[in-house]
A and B are shown apart, each in its own frame.
Chain A
């Protein structure tokens, strides 16, 4: 661009010169940027300026990119189709559309941020920096709230970025609505395909590619129904770019009809109620419900019949409260009637339906293959009386039937049983904790910091607040299972369903989206390996002011893989001292506090002195309670 004249002086082209001048002028007014000091033009520039032909004001404006387009008196499209799409999402209660912007859905994006009396509210446009993060955020929100958000991705390229997270949501049985922008008339044919959704059909429940605006509105409603009808799972709607922009005319949003959830019949409800009421020592095995309503029903049933309860609350969301007085082994472990709710039960279980029962999907021919059953043989845990139905929707029928069967004598028996169960469960829990804390205190003063100490000290700071533990904790010691009380539907959102890294940061940000409007805080005990896949959610959390406390479980490596390799090298009899290659973060170490700072999130660390941990955690919790995210980099023991 810069040539030299015959006398060796640099010659600047007219476009470069004008561009430079415009840039300097613009830089001087850029908000938040460094101010460029006004400079006298050099002799060379002055000479070039003298030779240049003067520009008209219009030419100058066009050259610097400040041309004002002609004013539009009357918009060509008065009622864009995408406005109606937003109205459908609003009516469905979709709180957020999480997206990384793309050139196939500007119609919908513009409508989200501009349509209606309260634009950019229900749904609010959330900026993700990667489509995998966008879907993970929807997944985290769904686990926390039991209902879906929308991820908006662009064509073939956005969907491929999103695909890993969709797979994770599918295995997590989480309702997520993936909207794919499709632009067939653009120049980039690589971004479109005849059957875009085909590439994720192996691990989505349902998809549609509507060809009219009317069908698009129907498809959005059907997507919601499909995603939230058990088995819950991700669904896909392909949104044509032209349909988003077309005039809707008089078209109205169709009336929404909620899904029909499969329940047990009255006869089965009566049979189960009879079993529970007649039992001397009934028990409930409670798994994961779809929504918090399932938990309320289960608590009501357990209290109605005085059953002791086994919960999955320390494994994931939407299960029975861990410290409810009926949770525990109960006074007598010889149960004579066990009802499974989304879990096996010896006498009866209400469970499912499962994704594998969806037989109208092409689960094999996409190139990905079916999701294979585990290689390790699974124990047949089916009960004597298994019913494929949704437990949450079925419970009111069982409760109603049980209530009718309870006479005075039965109610007295329930009261007596409840008293015994309460006492035993309390004593059992205290004994378990006494034993646990003796184990947890080991290495208390060690550096790097013991993971047990991290969990224990953090608990003391959050236990009186409304909190959600969003990240899987298996790699950081699972200490929450014993030391924390998981009593709310969202207390613990569980592990990565596909055991695939790159999930926790995005899903935590999604849980924090839910938390922001509910005076709740999110705790993300974040593995370093997982963090590095898609750290952009740090910026999303900072930008949208999400109450998310991220505590790095920084063990500087992929320790599970390190251990696998160690074992194999030992078996092969060579080189176990070389297993750090490819499994550790050394040379250089990664500074997560600096990464967070760069993304605009308050942060500190690395903290390696155990005596400095509590104060750091205190600062973090205080900041998050104030409505801002925070990251603490903690150098920890490996596990």
Chain B
């Protein structure tokens, strides 16, 4: 177990050292089309905010391009009960390395900076009303 952990840590360190975090070799513009064609938006929204948020590099699998590719290829849960709620498996025959790298580059452009709750009356009022004990 310890040996596997050491190996994994070493691999990640090697990958991280090889490629700067968050940078990749893909083309974000081509990735935009691929993100749409492969319907990534179905779960992650058109700008990375959806059922699973990936904007602002929110997921650990986005740490580097290669980690992202490993993740795509190594989806183990191939027959889940609710396949709409799990990340699909993407072998190379289904999504090429090239397109995957473009998608990664596009995801890296997702920056979500919403206003603070205090600056969104529709949300702040909900909390304020609850604090005042509105309801019954």
Contact = CB atoms under 8 A, between A and B. Distances in A.
Contact of A573 (B53, B91, B117): B91
Nearest to B79: A571
Interface in B61-78: 75, 78
Contacts of A10: none
Contact of A563 (B84, B123, B125, B136): B84
Interface in A400-434: 426, 429-430, 433-434
B10 interface: no
Interface residues of B, number: 50
In terms of DSSP, what is the predominant structure of the interface of chain B?
loop
Interface string A430-471: 100110011011111111101001001101100100000000
Contact of B50 (A440, A569, A573, A637): A637
A441 B123 contact: yes
A569 B94 contact: yes
Interface in A525-572: 559-560, 562-564, 566-572
Contacts of B91: 570, 573
Given A426-B133, A441-B117, A459-B122, A568 B39 contact: no
Interface string A575-593: 1110110000000000000
Contact of B41 (A444, A564, A638): A638
A569 B123 CA distance: 39
B115 interface: yes
Given A571-B78, A573-B94, A441 B45 contact: no
Nearest to B122: A456
A637 B112 CA distance: 14
Contact of A485 (B47, B78, B80, B134): B134
A487 B135 contact: yes
A433 B127 contact: yes
B114 interface: yes
Interface residues of A, number: 55
B89 interface: yes
A246 interface: no
A460 B121 CA distance: 9
Interface string A606-639: 0000000010000000000000000000000111
A376 interface: yes
Contacts of A574: 93-94
Interface in B92-132: 93-95, 112, 114-117, 120-127, 129-131
B136 A437 contact: no
A602 interface: no
Contact of A639 (B43, B116, B120): B43
Nearest to A572: B94
Most chain A beta-carbon neighbours within 10 Å: one of B53, B88, B95, B127? B88
Nearest to A375: B81
Contact of A570 (B34, B42, B90, B120): B90
Interface stretch (A61-69, A282-290, A321-329, A391-399): A321-329
A407 B72 CA distance: 66
Interface in A511-527: none
Given A441-B115, A444-B115, A639-B43, 19 more contacts: A426-B130, A426-B133, A443-B45, A443-B55, A445-B114, A446-B47, A485-B135, A487-B135, A560-B84, A566-B38, A567-B80, A567-B84, A570-B91, A570-B94, A576-B39, A637-B49, A638-B45, A638-B51, A639-B51
Which 3 A-B pairs have CB atoms at the shortest separation, nearest pair first?
A: A323-B135, A443-B49, A567-B83
Interface of B: 34, 37-39, 41-43, 45-47, 49-51, 53, 55, 75, 78-81, 83-84, 86, 88-91, 93-95, 112, 114-117, 120-127, 129-131, 133-136
